[in-house]
């Protein structure tokens, strides 16, 4: 079975972990600090905070911004549900905005209508590694004085008109899950250029503590959202491969797209002018008459793992029951939930592998059309 993704790992990561184990100091320490420095330098902001996952990073960012009960956070409907879950965990209300089907990102034209006096933050998602259309989003946010948290989980190394993802808003959050651009096993990071926000992140990430000369004082009810040095050591090695990983993914994506353009019923991903794509996931959009789930089954029968793109959150049982949003209110997200398909893409795939993916998809579609 051809897997959906295989992380690029080797002896260097194993040796880095062994060195940490040999020190006896396993919690957040020098390796986490080095990973924070490397990513802050890449993004071009002064502050990076390694966290146990991107989900805890998003939660930490919202908590540090003071999002609380009754507040509203505007998010795109098409995303992994962690984007909405962290809002609910703050006892705030997620407000779902539709997406564009060209980039799967928040539609800026629908954003302003979603704002109310209770809006406390805007959280665009850089879907699958393509930066959302941030300039109009930031213009609206600044006009209303609302902070922006980038859910940049998939977008480490992606650019928007020469600026790095994760450094475009008030804060940005990356993921280091094994399916992401680089991995630490599990992990994430919060980025910000805001010094006062950085102070809040420092305290809240580690139990609400401020370290004194002899011991800590606990000044807030914080969290334990730190990243261990065991995990961070893997990330430090991975950062040395980032450029190679991104170049490889983009080259493979270009080759696969050329093959898929020959298949009726499949729209390959696009990269709009001024943006770069990490292709953390390679996601196509199938024509509406095709049953995407049957395509997944057919690809599996042909030995290739695929999956949906991601989730229309208003269609998930918890959010469907709580908010009862009709599909007609979010047509883009509804279509993407039902028609987006993720195909394998990772270093190690050959030209023959890419041809096999394309041939299997074409055959699966032919079978469905009869």
Which tokens in the block code for residue 88? Answer: 């609910």
Contact present, 53 and 222 (Cβ < 8 Å): no
Neighbours of 101 (CB within 10 A): 18
- Cα–Cα nearest to 123, from 334, 70, 115: 115
176 alpha-carbon distance from chain centroid: 9
Q: Name the burial class of residue 29, with classes exposed (0-12), middle (13-18) and buried (19+) by CB atoms within 10 angstroms of its CB.
A: middle
- Cα–Cα nearest to 31, from 209, 39, 201: 39
180 an active-site residue?
yes
Which of 47, 180, 200, 249 is an active site residue? Answer: 180
CA dist 230 and 186 (Å) reads 11
CA dist 56 and 28 (Å) reads 15
Contact partners, residue 285, CB within 8 Å, separation at least 6: 101, 266, 267, 335, 336, 339, 340, 341
Contact present, 324 and 222 (Cβ < 8 Å): no
Helix axes 242-260, 351-369, angle to 10 degrees: 40
CA dist 250 and 353 (Å) reads 16
Contact present, 345 and 260 (Cβ < 8 Å): no
CA dist 75 and 60 (Å) reads 16
CA dist 169 and 151 (Å) reads 10
Query: Known catalytic residues?
Result: 180
């Amino acid at each position: 079975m051809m897997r959906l993704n295989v992380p690029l790992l080797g002896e260097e990561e194993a040796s880095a972990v062994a060195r940490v184990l040999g020190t006896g100091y396993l919690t957040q320490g020098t390796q986490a600090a080095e990973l924070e420095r490397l990513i802050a330098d890449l993004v071009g902001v002064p502050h990076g905070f390694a966290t146990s996952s991107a989900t805890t990073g998003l939660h930490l960012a919202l908590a540090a911004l003071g999002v609380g009960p009754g507040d509203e956070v505007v998010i795109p409907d098409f995303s992994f549900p962690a984007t909405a879950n962290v809002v609910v965990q703050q006892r705030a209300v997620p407000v779902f905005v539709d997406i564009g089907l060209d980039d799967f990102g928040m539609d800026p034209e629908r954003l302003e209508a979603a704002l109310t006096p209770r809006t406390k933050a805007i959280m665009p998602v850089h879907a699958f590694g393509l930066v959302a259309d941030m300039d109009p989003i930031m213009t609206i946010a600044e006009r209303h004085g609302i902070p922006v948290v980038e859910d940049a989980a998939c977008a480490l190394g992606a650019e928007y008109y020469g600026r790095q993802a994760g450094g475009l808003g008030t804060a940005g959050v990356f993921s280091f899950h094994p399916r992401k651009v680089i991995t630490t096993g599990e992990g994430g990071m919060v980025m910000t250029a805001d010094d006062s926000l950085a102070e809040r992140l420092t305290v809240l990430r580690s139990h609400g503590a401020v370290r004194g000369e002899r011991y800590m004082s606990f000044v807030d009810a914080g969290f334990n959202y730190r990243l261990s040095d065991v995990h961070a050591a893997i990330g430090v090695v991975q950062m040395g491969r980032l450029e190679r990983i991104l170049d490889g993914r983009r080259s493979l994506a270009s080759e696969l797209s050329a093959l898929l353009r020959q298949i009726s019923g499949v729209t390959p991903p696009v990269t709009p002018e001024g943006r770069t794509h990490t292709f953390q996931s390679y996601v196509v959009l199938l024509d509406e008459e095709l049953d995407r789930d049957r395509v997944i089954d057919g690809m599996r029968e042909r030995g290739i793992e695929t999956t949906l793109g991601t989730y229309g959150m208003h269609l998930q049982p918890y959010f469907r029951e709580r908010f009862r949003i009709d599909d007609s209110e979010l047509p883009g997200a509804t279509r993407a939930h039902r028609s987006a398909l993720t195909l394998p893409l990772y270093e190690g795939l050959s030209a023959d592998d890419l041809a096999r993916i394309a041939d299997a998809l074409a055959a699966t579609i032919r079978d469905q059309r009869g």
